C-alpha cells in the first residue's frame, strides 16, 4: 500500500472516530430533547416525540456504522469496509428523504400544535395539569393562541372556581374566566384567579414555533456538515476497498 492509500486508510479511521463522536452527540441531544419536551408530548400527543426518538435511533445506527468503518480501515478488511460504504450510502439516502419530508410537512407543524393544544385545553384533565404548567412556565405563554382559550375549558373553570371559593378569593370582575397559575408572569399560588393577575399574553403555539425556528439554522448547519463528512468518508471507503481488493485479490 503506497503512501497515498495509507493516508486514505488513516483518514478513514480518523473520520470514523469523528463520526463516532457525532453519533454520541446525536444520542445525547435526542435524549435531552425528549426529557425537556416530555411534558409538551403529554399535551400535544405522542406524534411530536418522533423527532427526538428518531435522533436517538440515528445516533445508535451511526455508532455501529462507525464501528465497521474503524475496524475495516484498521484491519484493511474488505468486507467490513464495503459494509461501511453501503451503510453510509443508505444513511445519506435516508437523510435526503427526511429532509424532503420535513420541508414538505413544515407548514403542518403549527396546524398540528394548534389542534392538539386546543383539544387538550377543551378536554382538560387533572392528570395533564403538571404538563400544562411546565409548558406555559417554560415558554412564558398562555393557552394555544392566547389566554382566552382557557375560557372554553369547562372542567378547568369549574375547578378554578372551587379553588376560589375555598380560599375566599373575591371574584375577578375584570375577567370572565380563570387561567392556570402558570399563565402569570410571576407564578404564585392562585394568581390565575385573582383580579391582580398579570399574564403572559402570547399563545404557546406561536412561542414554541418561534423557539423551533430559532434553532433550525443551527440544526441545519450541523446537518450539512455531517452530510459533507459522510460524502468524504464514502469516497475514502470506496478508494480503500479498491486498493484492498487489488492488493489482496479479494473477490
Given its phi and psi angles, is residue 187 left (phi above 0), alpha (psi -120 to 50 degrees) or beta? beta
Quick one: pLDDT at residue 93?
A: 82
The single residue listed with the C-alpha cell 497515498 is 4
Would the pTM count as exceeding 0.75? Answer: no
The tens-digit pLDDT sequence of the chain (251 residues) is 566 667 777 777 888 888 788 788 878 877 776 676 666 666 655 555 566 677 778 788 888 888 878 887 778 788 888 888 888 888 888 777 766 766 666 667 777 778 888 888 888 877 777 778 888 888 899 988 888 899 888 888 888 889 888 888 887 766 778 899 889 988 888 888 886 778 888 898 888 888 777 766 666 676 677 778 778 878 888 887 887 777 665 44
Cα 5 to Cα 10, 19, 62, 168, 232, distances in angstroms: 9, 20, 24, 82, 15
Neighbours of 26 (CB within 10 A): 22
Quick one: pLDDT at residue 230?
A: 79
Helix, strand or coil, per DSSP, at residue 199: strand
Listed in sequence order, the residues at least 6 apart from 75 whose beta carbon sits closer than 8 Å to its beta carbon are none
Quick one: pLDDT at residue 75?
A: 80
Q: What number of CA atoms fall less than 13 Å from residue 84's CA on the CB side?
A: 35
Amino acid at each position: 500500500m503506497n503512501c497515498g492509500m495509507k493516508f486514505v486508510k488513516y483518514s478513514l479511521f480518523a473520520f470514523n472516530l469523528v463520526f463516532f463522536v457525532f453519533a454520541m452527540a446525536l444520542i445525547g441531544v435526542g435524549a435531552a430533547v425528549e426529557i425537556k419536551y416530555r411534558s409538551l408530548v403529554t399535551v400535544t400527543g405522542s406524534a411530536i416525540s418522533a423527532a427526538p426518538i428518531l435522533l436517538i435511533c440515528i445516533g445508535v445506527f451511526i455508532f455501529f456504522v462507525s464501528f465497521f468503518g474503524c475496524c475495516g480501515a484498521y484491519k484493511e478488511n474488505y468486507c467490513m469496509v464495503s459494509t461501511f460504504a453501503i451503510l453510509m450510502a443508505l444513511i445519506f439516502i435516508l437523510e435526503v428523504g427526511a429532509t424532503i419530508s420535513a420541508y414538505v410537512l413544515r407548514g403542518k407543524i403549527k396546524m398540528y400544535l394548534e389542534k392538539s393544544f386546543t383539544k387538550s385545553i377543551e378536554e382538560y384533565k387533572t392528570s395533564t395539569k403538571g404538563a400544562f404548567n411546565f409548558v406555559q412556565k417554560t415558554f412564558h405563554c398562555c393557552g394555544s393562541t392566547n389566554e382566552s382559550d382557557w375560557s372554553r375549558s369547562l372542567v378547568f373553570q369549574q375547578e378554578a372556581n372551587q379553588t376560589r371559593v375555598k380560599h375566599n378569593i373575591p371574584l375577578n370582575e375584570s375577567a370572565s374566566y380563570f387561567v392556570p397559575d402558570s399563565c402569570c408572569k410571576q407564578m404564585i399560588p392562585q394568581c390565575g384567579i385573582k383580579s391582580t393577575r398579570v399574564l403572559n399574553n402570547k399563545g404557546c403555539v406561536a412561542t414554541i414555533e418561534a423557539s423551533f425556528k430559532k434553532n433550525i439554522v443551527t440544526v441545519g448547519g450541523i446537518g450539512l456538515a455531517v452530510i459533507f463528512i459522510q460524502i468524504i468518508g464514502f469516497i475514502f471507503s470506496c478508494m480503500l476497498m479498491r486498493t484492498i481488493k487489488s492488493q489482496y485479490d479479494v473477490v
